[in-house]
A and B are shown apart, each in its own frame.
Chain A
């Protein structure tokens, strides 16, 4: 009750003012819910002086009635509000006291929900796919057991090229069983693809330019040590369209390097040789670990080799019936494991295929 109202009350109905003072004191003094109920009954109960007074208002002098009626009701409302407020206060205090007694060890581990891990190779391939899908590429797939034609011949690899030898390439025994070893060597039709490039040829056979594809998948070469496993994964990209240039290749590769490795990255393009591209290049990205100063990871060169690439050799267009004077294109290829190793600092290629969960769960 504000001071002005209180002053009015004291002046015009001093009896009510006294009742209010006594009642509010009793309510505010109550220090538990039982005491509060007692105070409420004493102040606002049916037999309380206030209620009895209001009930007998008709017996009063008609001139006094409106004044006492109005002030009486004000006093009752105010007291009721005080009871409500005090009750809330006491309940909160009681709950606070009870909560204060409840304590758990919040440092114990949470309920473990199972959550598995995507193999790092899958993760890496997914990241690469997403980058190129964002650039407008489709993801193409093809067989792993492949024909010599798609793996070598149509990729401009000469018949005597060492890569075709039984030393480097896994050859498949044809379905006819029990061929003598000597025949197997001569009978070279079917092999395990040594790169994902045959997919490019298959796609070009199936569709006219423009072609914007990446092919990802398993490839196989006869090599096994800390830096080679007989099976590994490759990503290759192919673009064939009108007016494609080496500058487009550089721009694409730089975009990819920054998306994949993160940050502002520099690339370096060196001339190289591959049978299926002309000109051919190798691409390096600057080493973040040492900032280009040279460290073990970049063999003290400041650069990390990430891919081989180049402009599609016009001979390839001959195999698939494209017009080399009308379209041009670029292709690039990289090892998925190598990309993952560079990005995550993995020292040994074989870790990828041991499938030790202590390895799998790190990524």
Chain B
């Protein structure tokens, strides 16, 4: 909300600067986001150059038909009569005008100088409303009331320069959505004197009573607790005076005409939205506050036809809806330049209902923004009085006696609360003297009965947010100022720490970074069709994602069921920006309906379920792990690179995987190359993930042609079994013996199987068997390959001799020959 500083000062005796009041408000809970300075530069020297003048003579410019040559009296102390050339023609000699003297700097930054305009000297300028900043465009200069004193500073009458506070209000404080409400906050927070409410009614009433012209029916009292109108007759619609335009403009509203401007002014000042109906346009002389009929249509002021439903309140006459209540008017009963008699509405609508209507229609107005917070019904009569006085003063209206007031909820009782000052001390953490607490509450217009340790506090009706003792404690705390509270730390009785899975997650991340992979975080939502290219078969739970009812875009319509599309998207982003093909990982959740999690009965409808959210580690390699370098060593990324990354990651959390071809599981991972993919099992949880080359057609489907991509996904269940305690193993005092065997076997005998057999066959002395060479080619028969196995033997009791070594070797060779027909090369 925009609060012009000059307007605020009308209601509270604030002696400080705008910056000081901004700070006061911010530190007492009404955040001031900034101060905008509008109008002419604000130094007093400059402002003294804007004065009230009177046109003495006006003649045609001798050398220009469209210019006038005027003499303007700006007062003795301002230099007497000035000669001013002017291009406007909406004034005559004798008019009171706004003059900026030579040397004045305007809002635009233009500095006025004596000038020669077509051969005639011009000393100063008569200002238009546009130059004063009150209108976007104005046809001529502004003509001021005839009784303004010539020679006085214009700023005594008009805000030539204004500081506008930009407030960020919170939804719990409907009372703050007015200048007077903010003045009340300033008074409460500072102790400055608050002016009485600006709601005095018109001095004179006249004509037939209001009820002679209008009847009111409320058929939906739940949506409309109070509906009141007054009648004003004989108005002359026209332009508002400059001060009113200035106030509205500075507060962020556009001047329309004097009748509408008055309703807006009162809303801004007092917080009660008003609506002026042209009495002549109300069919049947009756206003009805009723539910709209389902499907009923209304053409709002912006020319849009809107469909209503029966949860929305309309204000109608006997024929048609005239207003979507509290939200937006229709053309049918609006005031216009021919309006003379006005029915002025001040109502109280259900905040929840207004909010719902705003959401369903997509309309939000200054009025609905206030109503949706839930206003105080006691604002109604003041709002009507205030506006009626201004109608009488500014629009020539005669206010009819009486108010038609349908107040179905009846007068609001002041809420009475118990309050323990000692409880405030206990919650805030420092003592505030009881009499000081009482004084703060009284500044908020509470009545305080201080008897005993439990007080009774009665709360003003404009503070619906004060419902409980703790709400009052907050008021006392903020008015005392939170800077008064000391800084302490709780006295803990519990220990902190990370759970095992949380520690494992960190270790996995460190391991993957150690392999050279960069961590990414991609959106949890993906396009519904992003899963298509992965080739899952019908019925696969990964094809049944968690769908958003109201996604922001088709690209983000469903929750991911696998990390792969997001990771490929990240690869593509980098490739498209000419970065080297990246190697990435992500640790995040996927969302699956396969084993729904029942919701606790107290928290949801019976039968409600949540999806499962398993955590997954996704790894994608699209280029070499080490960048190309000047020594020339570079290893192209292949399946074994990926496997090395997976092995290193598992090792970092003290796990060892067993790798096997996908076999029957291949159908579950149709996006992987069938011959270059494996699953990895881990003791304690079984299958822990898959790894392999992504099929080239799948890679291409994500816009990555001709890129070799490897992908692994590891289950978050690892976190539960990883980082077990390692137990010490004897180092062994005796030296190892090493034997290399080159065995030729059928190509499709898996290395892991050979190693396993060699270990078993070799017996206790075998400490390790590993592959140090793989050869296929001319030296071995077609369909075979040679594997170099390095067997490391060691005994805990003695140094092994030739006999021991030969025996182990013999047993291994025999077993390999027996099981796989292996021959030594």
Contact = CB atoms under 8 A, between A and B. Distances in A.
Interface of A: 108-109, 111-119, 121-122, 126, 129, 132-139, 143-150, 154, 158-160, 162, 165-167, 170-175, 181, 184-185, 189-190, 192, 205, 210, 212, 218, 220, 222, 224, 230-231, 239, 241, 243-248, 250-252, 254-255, 268-273, 278-282, 299, 311, 313-314, 328, 352-358, 360-361
Nearest to A175: B593
Contacts of A278: 468, 470-471, 473-474
Nearest to B354: A160
Contact of A122 (B509, B517, B589): B509
B487 A230 contact: no
Of B491, B518, B585, B597, which is in contact with the most chain A CB atoms at under 10 Å from its CB?
B518
B483 A239 contact: no
B424 to A, nearest CB: 10
Contacts of B34: 299
B355 A160 contact: yes
Nearest to A118: B519
A206 B156 CA distance: 66
Interface string B387-400: 00000000000000
Interface string B221-235: 000000000000000
Contact of B521 (A121, A184, A282): A121
Interface in B560-581: 570, 573-574, 577, 579-580
Interface in B144-177: 170-173
Given A145-B611, A245-B427, A273-B170, A355 B584 contact: yes
Given A252-B489, A268-B27, A355-B584, 15 more contacts: A129-B502, A133-B497, A134-B496, A135-B492, A136-B495, A149-B603, A149-B604, A150-B603, A162-B359, A212-B494, A218-B524, A222-B552, A247-B429, A279-B473, A355-B522
A114 B625 contact: yes
B502 A160 contact: no
19 contacts: A111-B629, A117-B518, A126-B506, A135-B492, A144-B589, A171-B550, A172-B547, A210-B493, A222-B550, A247-B486, A248-B488, A254-B487, A255-B489, A273-B173, A279-B473, A314-B470, A355-B520, A357-B518, A360-B519
Nearest to A319: B602
A271 B478 contact: yes
Nearest to A305: B31
A109 B429 contact: no
A149 B601 CA distance: 11
Contacts of A255: 489
A83 to B, nearest CB: 40
A139 B497 CA distance: 7
Given A150-B603, A269-B483, A138 B496 contact: yes
A175 B609 contact: yes
A143 to B, nearest CB: 6
Question: 10 closest A-B pairs (Cβ-Cβ)?
Answer: A114-B516, A247-B429, A245-B429, A271-B29, A279-B474, A273-B170, A251-B487, A160-B352, A116-B513, A149-B603
Interface string B1-42: 000000000000000000000000011110101100000000
Contacts of B518: 116-117, 119, 357, 360-361
Contacts of A149: 599, 602-604
Interface of B: 26-29, 31, 33-34, 170-173, 351-352, 355-356, 359, 372, 426-430, 468, 470-471, 473-474, 477-478, 482-483, 485-499, 502, 506, 509, 512-525, 546-552, 556, 559, 570, 573-574, 577, 579-580, 582-585, 588-589, 591, 593, 596-597, 599-600, 602-605, 608-611, 613, 625-627, 629-631
Contacts of B502: 129, 139
B427 A246 contact: yes
Given A139-B498, A273-B171, A231 B487 contact: no
Contacts of A222: 550, 552
B610 A252 contact: no
Nearest to B27: A270
Contact of B26 (A270, A279, A311): A270
B579 A357 contact: yes
A107 B573 CA distance: 34
Contacts of A115: 513-514, 516
B359 A165 contact: yes
Contacts of B631: 111
A122 B519 contact: yes
Contacts of B506: 126
B603 A147 contact: yes
A172 B429 CA distance: 42
Contact of A167 (B26, B359, B490, B599): B359
A143 B26 CA distance: 36
Nearest to B596: A175
Given A135-B496, A251-B487, A328-B427, A144 B550 contact: no
Contacts of A212: 490, 492, 494, 496
Q: Which of A145, A224, A299 has the most CB of B within 10 A?
A: A145
A144 B516 contact: no
A247 B525 CA distance: 41
Contact of B524 (A121, A144, A165, A282): A144
